[in-house]
Structure 1
Amino acid sequence: MLLKSQTQMVLNARALVLLHILVWSLPDTFSQSSSILSDISCLKSIRDSLEDPLNHIATSWTFNSSTEDSICWYVGVICGYTFENRVRGVHLANMGLKGKFPSGLVDCNELISLDLSGNVISGSIPHDINEILSNLEVLELSNNNLSGEIPSSMGDCFTMKVVKLNNNKLSGQIPQQLNENLEVLELSNNKLSGEIPSSMGNCSNLEVVKLC
């Protein structure tokens, strides 16, 4: 039988082990909470920056639930559950949304797919699109009212595989430097001019091209 002092030593040792486990787990907990808050900030920015006359977003993106994964059930939001419920896709095609390209998307830093096609998004594509959507693989902005030039930084979106910008009012030239990982590039029915960039020949994975 253990003496009282020995029993106390065992309890103290166990308490010390539990304390170490708690301390080491705190950074991950804080990191996860911070990531979720970042995604929430991103979605709130989209909701607040776009007019939603048909109330597709307004009735779903309420941010009332206290559970961290509640945003994964919002209309048009796709989460990757292997990524701690992070927002991986925002698909809001054909919802009658109006406004400028939402710069708050920068807070969705695990986003790989964005589809805002078939809306009334106007203005220009941000010049720092490569920083706003640094991990994006699929960008669909076709059938909107976008104008101005395609930013040269689009060539620095190294993860981008699909780019659909057709049926807008984009002008100027196709960027000279294109991402070599591109598989689909659709730019038809815009006001583009100039020559097709020679860098397109380096896009060995390019299977679908629509420029005219």
Structure 2
Amino acid sequence: MSLIPLLSTCLWFLLVSSFTGANEADVKCLGNIRSQVKDPNGYLSSWVFGNYSAGYICRFSGVTCWHADENRVLGIKLSGFGLEGEFPIGIKQCTDMTALDLSRNSFSGALPYNIASLIPSVTTLDLSRNQFSGEIPTGLSNVSYLNTLMLQHNQFTGQLPPELLSLGRLTRFSVAGNQLTGPIPRFNEQHLKIGVDVFANNEGLCGPPMDACVDPDEDNMIRFGKMGAAVGAALFAPLVAFLDSFVFDGRKKKQGVIRHRS
């Protein structure tokens, strides 16, 4: 075998190995997601692994790539697939992913406290209309490239982390339809327009643009005052009734005397 064909074969082998290794993490990422979620409707049936041809994962349902011939995930959009399970932590290996949309599914459980380390480069995160619960992790504030954060219509509890104020790139944001409580952080409205609809249907949230927060001491005083008024009314009601009866009887007797004299 001559030297030139041998060198060409070795070079081709090195290029293929390098290419496969460079995208192996993305392939494993999707494989982990596939194994970590339940897919009762079979929408992920196109996620068949083992091909390893150029860009084969780019043909998976809900997956977009940086280039059609490169197994490098740009975004994952699985909205309305009917998927179940917890937030798939295997997504961490899609290190170049910039968009994640898991909306309109049946995901549940708490979001990982270290979520920023799982999706560090994401600019769009849509987890709306699921069943996620627990507190919104402060770690979301470390996903520093976020410009869209949609958490509405879940079951999140607790307060809105004030750390979210550090997300200066946000242009779209919603936590409507959860079970959040406490004061709303003062978001910078230079890029992010904050209206009532952003926080609607969270009975415990207060502060602009919702109803003003009530100081706990003031609230207790108001409640105490109302309680005192109720107790006072209950105590004085019999006395008032007695006085009314006494006055009424007196009038009757007086009228009887007048008639008798007549």
The Cα shift of 1:126 comes to 0.8
Aligned partner of residue 109 in structure 1, secondary structure: coil
Aligned partner of residue 39 in structure 1, secondary structure: helix
Cα distance in 1 between the residues matched to 2:68 and 2:105: 31
Cα distance in 1 between the residues matched to 2:135 and 2:23: 34
Provide Cα deviations, 1:81-136, integer angstroms capped at 9, x if missing partner.
18944101111111110000000000000111111111100001111111100000
1:181 pairs, out of 166, 169, 173, with: 169
Aligned residues: 192
Cα distance in 1 between the residues matched to 2:150 and 2:61: 22
Gaps of 5+ in 2: 201-262
1:157 aligned partner: 143
Structure 1 segments, 4+ long, off by >3 Å, are: 28-32, 82-85
1:169 aligned partner: 155
Kept in 1: contact 2:27–2:71 (CA 8 A): no
Aligned partner of residue 24 in structure 2, secondary structure: helix
- Are residues 1:63 and 2:49 paired? yes
- Are residues 1:47 and 2:34 paired? yes
Check 1:124–1:31 CA distance in 2 against 1; reply closer, same or farther (3 A cut). Answer: farther
TM-score, structure 1 normalization: 0.82
Kept in 2: contact 1:79–1:85 (CA 8 A): yes
The Cα shift of 1:80 comes to 1.1
Provide Cα deviations, 1:46-87, integer angstroms capped at 9, x if missing partner.
111111111110x20011423031000000001111894410
1:115 pairs, out of 80, 98, 101, with: 101
Q: What does 1:58-97 align with in structure 2 at a 5 Å threshold?
A: 59-81=45-67, 84-97=70-83
1:35 pairs, out of 22, 32, 55, with: 22
2:124 pairs, out of 125, 134, 138, with: 138
Of residues 98-107 and 177-186 in structure 1, the stretch that sits farther from structure 2 once superposed is 177-186
Gaps of 5+ in 1: 1-11
1:9 aligned partner: none
TM-score, structure 2 normalization: 0.67
Tell me which of the two structures has the higher relative contact order, counting C-alpha pairs closer than 8 angstroms and 6 or more residues apart. Answer: 1
Cα distance in 1 between the residues matched to 2:30 and 2:132: 21
Check 1:126–1:138 CA distance in 2 against 1; reply closer, same or farther (3 A cut). Answer: same
Cα distance in 1 between the residues matched to 2:146 and 2:71: 22
1:104 pairs, out of 75, 90, 112, with: 90
2:231 aligned partner: none
Which is richer in strand?
1
2:111 aligned partner: 125
The Cα shift of 1:29 comes to 6.0
1:112 alignment partner AA: T
Cα distance in 2 between the residues matched to 1:37 and 1:111: 14
Aligned-residue identity in percent: 33
Aligned partner of residue 93 in structure 1, secondary structure: coil
Which is richer in helix?
2
Kept in 2: contact 1:186–1:211 (CA 8 A): yes
Cα distance in 2 between the residues matched to 1:74 and 1:82: 12
RMSD: 2.5
Cα distance in 1 between the residues matched to 2:118 and 2:156: 20
Kept in 2: contact 1:106–1:132 (CA 8 A): yes
Aligned partner of residue 139 in structure 1, secondary structure: strand
